[in-house]
């Protein structure tokens, strides 16, 4: 059996760069592989040899977007916050800055988040899994240092608070998703009202909902 030739890192990088910009600016349906290979300076045959299909390239480009954001993000913005409420506010301001610096990557990341119903079901499932995996790993990583510095009751474990934080993130996420589906290119700054709503949830989480 003939072993497949190794990928050329430079050509793969050019494909990803072109795909990131074209998918981000046009969406999956309107993006043309002809335009991607032209911008990347490679043949269409090579693109399909590397990725198999336009759908696979799109999914891999979403994964790539998350890797780029993870590599450049300063996690101390979250982890060094004095409390959870400050963390949420600081994180929003920081995300706005990052989105301005990496607009295409954020557009692709949001594509996985919104899980566009017009995409084929297999792609919807793959993108949904990417987003779920990101949420499952990122919330504990970002919030654990802050929670561990809090003065919790003796009978409350940090893991319990992190699970509740994840639940709040899911609730807010579903509401934000509906808005982003209506306007996929909405900047993060337009989601600022969700920060206020998250603060309300955090206040109830920290102080309870019964009068003392």
- Residue 2 pLDDT more than 60? no
Which residues touch 202 (CB under 8 Å, ≥6 apart)?
Answer: 84, 85, 88, 168
Task: Give the residue among 99, 119, 143 at the shortest CA–CA distance from 53.
Answer: 119
What is the helix, strand, coil percentage profile of the chain, to 5?
80, 0, 20
Per-residue pLDDT tens over the stretch 28-47 = 999 999 999 999 999 999 99
In whole angstroms, what is the distance from residue 11 CA to residue 51 CA? 12
Task: Return d(Cα 81, Cα 145) in angstroms, integer.
Answer: 9
Please name each of the domains of the chain with its CATH number: 61-207 (1.10.357)
- For residues 169 and 173, what is the distance between their CA atoms, to the nearest angstrom? 6
Q: Each residue of 82-129: pLDDT tens digit?
A: 998 898 888 888 888 888 899 999 889 887 777 567 788 899 899 988
More confident residue, 3 or 80: 80
- Whether 61 and 33 have beta carbons less than 8 Å apart is answered as no
- Record the pTM: 0.83
């Amino acid at each position: 059996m003939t072993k497949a030739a190794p990928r050329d890192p430079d050509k793969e990088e050019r494909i990803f760069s072109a795909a990131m910009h074209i998918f981000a600016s046009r969406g999956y349906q309107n993006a043309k592989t002809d335009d991607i290979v032209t911008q990347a300076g490679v043949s269409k045959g090579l693109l399909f040899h590397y990725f198999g299909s336009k759908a696979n390239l799109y999914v891999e480009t979403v994964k790539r977007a998350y890797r780029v954001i993870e590599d450049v993000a300063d996690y101390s913005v979250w982890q060094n916050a004095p409390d959870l409420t400050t963390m949420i506010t600081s994180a929003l301001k920081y995300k706005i800055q990052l989105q301005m610096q990496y607009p295409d990557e954020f557009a692709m990341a949001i594509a996985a988040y919104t899980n566009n119903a017009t995409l084929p079901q297999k792609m919807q499932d793959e993108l949904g899994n990417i987003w779920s995996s990101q949420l499952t790993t990122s919330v504990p990583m970002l919030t654990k240092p802050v929670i561990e510095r809090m003065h919790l009751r003796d009978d409350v474990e940090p893991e319990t608070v992190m699970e509740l934080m994840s639940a709040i993130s899911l609730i807010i996420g579903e509401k934000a998703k509906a808005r982003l589906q209506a306007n996929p290119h909405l900047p993060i700054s337009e989601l600022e009202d969700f920060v206020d709503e998250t603060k309300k949830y955090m206040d109830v989480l920290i102080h309870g909902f019964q009068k003392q």
